[in-house]
């Protein structure tokens, strides 16, 4: 089912907004203690590793994001974002696939 930004779960909106603003602590607070994030083919497990990943991601490149849509199923929310910035290639369209455990993110996979 197609989902607009306003209809996304609050946790996902909070995470994406905090990520864009480079607010590491606020983004980290949206994850379960044993969450798993996969980005660029690498896994980051638990809040310590996810916090380190968020900190590195916040300082590595400068970019802007644009929400381009989302779909939801019973178990996942997939958010599509368009990024432009000073990273290799300069432009990327990414899918953020979220699984929630209650109100918190238990799994996030970021991929083209």
- Coil, strand or helix: which one is 54? helix
Domain encompassing residue 80: 5-111
The span from the CA of 87 to the CA of 59, in Å, is 12
Q: What is the per-residue pLDDT across 20-58, written as a single tens digit (0 to 9) for each?
A: 999 999 999 999 999 999 999 999 999 999 999 999 987
Tally of structural domains, the chain: 1
C-alpha of 99 from chain center: 11
The span from the CA of 80 to the CA of 19, in Å, is 14
Specify the pLDDT at position 60.
83
- DSSP strand pairing (31-39 vs 42-45): antiparallel
Specify the pLDDT at position 1.
84
């Amino acid at each position: 089912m197609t989902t607009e930004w306003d209809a996304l779960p609050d946790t996902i909106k909070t995470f994406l907004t905090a990520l864009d603003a480079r607010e590491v602590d606020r983004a980290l607070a949206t994850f379960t203690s044993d969450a798993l994030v996969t980005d660029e083919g690498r896994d980051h497990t638990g809040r310590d590793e996810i916090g380190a990943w968020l900190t590195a991601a916040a300082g590595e490149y400068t970019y802007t994001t644009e929400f381009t849509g989302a779909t939801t199923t019973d178990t996942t929310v997939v958010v599509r974002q368009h990024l432009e910035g000073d990273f290799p290639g300069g432009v990327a369209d990414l899918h953020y696939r979220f699984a929630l455990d209650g109100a918190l993110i238990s799994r996030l996979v970021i991929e083209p």
